[in-house]
Amino acid sequence: MNLGSGDALDVLDALEQGSESTYFAFTQASEAEPARTGKARRKRRGKGRAQPAPAPAVRALAPIPDVLAGRYRLERLLGAGGMGLVYRARDLLQEGFGDPQPLLAVKLMSDQLATAPDANALLFNEFALTSRLRHPNLVRLQGFAIDPQSERGFITMELMRGTSLDRLLCDQPLGLAWAQVREIAVPLLDALACVHAQGVVHGDLKPSNVMLGDDGLRLFDFGLGLALDGPLAGLPHLSHGRFEAWTPAYAAPELFEGGTPSTASDLYAVACVLYELITGRHPFERVPSLKARDQGMQLTAKAPPGMPGKAWAALRRALAFDPEQRRVDAGQLRDAFAAQGFWARLRR
């Protein structure tokens, strides 16, 4: 969903509730800003709508060819969002050598972002980040290339077959049984803990970025990913000084206030996802977190039916509006969900 440029706080009323589209808007290019204090954030909100930023330099955009780089035939569009396009494709080279499974997925930048002069570098950042993260519950990438005809970069990856969490939630409007929630939560949180341990944040955790398949769960789409430290920190990445990007229902309040994605904002997002799996409802009725905080919305003190108290206490901490109050990390949240209560152990 593209709502144009401007202050993120001014577009909340225009966002469709229930949408999982990633919002992004180009912002005024500038040098890195100092960290905003709470007072500065309040002043920013009082200024009203920001003036549109000058349009960034763009490059001519060639149409996407049917066959990328003379090798990957695009068969059909699997998904499209504000930032990327994913196609099912056929590897003609492997098929020519008799590979019985030549199908794969191909990701390109959306037409809107592909006109940016550094679009290919941004897509390469996603490839470089994801391909260096090793975990059985993370999507498996194969390669990065640039099609010489269209000059558009693309990522090749495994073709995931299964059901995304957003579809599962549609099919289970009252939520899942605790045993089913644990089967999803533990590998998801284990993958996230692995990502964070390597100094990387995902940046856009939401149900549609988690796939359940015959060979297990996959967390994917690191298009907004960022290496905070470690050997990957020098990679080109999405500049949050150039544009803001998040999915409103899963973005922590500090992101709306100009903060940089962090492990704490990832924790807020994944906690929203887990709460939905347990109850079938978003913890704050899909109200963007900044508004939910300002409206004084609060979670019930009582755990949802069937959920152990230890897991509920950890999840409540992860859902705190104040990042300083999210005194739990992905590994601790995983352990809380993995633990079995006294009665469950007796029944074994």
H helix or E strand, kind and range, residue 194: helix 178-197
Q: Considering only CA atoms, which of 238, 237, 311, 309 is closest in space to residue 271?
A: 311
Residue pair 78/87 in contact by the 8 Å Cβ criterion: yes
- For residue 76, the SS3 value is strand
Residue pair 146/152 in contact by the 8 Å Cβ criterion: yes
Give the integer Cα–Cα distance in Å for 127 and 143. Answer: 8
Q: What's phi and psi for 275, nearest 5 deg?
A: -60, -40
Residue pair 227/127 in contact by the 8 Å Cβ criterion: no
Give the integer Cα–Cα distance in Å for 72 and 80. Answer: 19
Q: Which of 190, 204, 221, 266 is catalytic?
A: 204
Q: Token pair 């809107």 is at which residue?
A: 112
Token pair recorded at residue 171: 């099919």
Token pair recorded at residue 224: 């907004």
- For residue 104, the SS3 value is strand
Other Cβ atoms less than 10 A from the Cβ of 30: the count is: 9
Which residues in 312-326 are b (16+ Cβ under 10 Å) and which e? bebbbbbbbbebeeb
Q: Token pair 């409802």 is at which residue?
A: 281
The verdict on whether residue 107 carries a ligand-binding annotation is: yes
66 catalytic per annotation: no
- Residues making up the annotated binding site for ATP are 107
For the annotated catalytic residues, the residue numbers are: 204
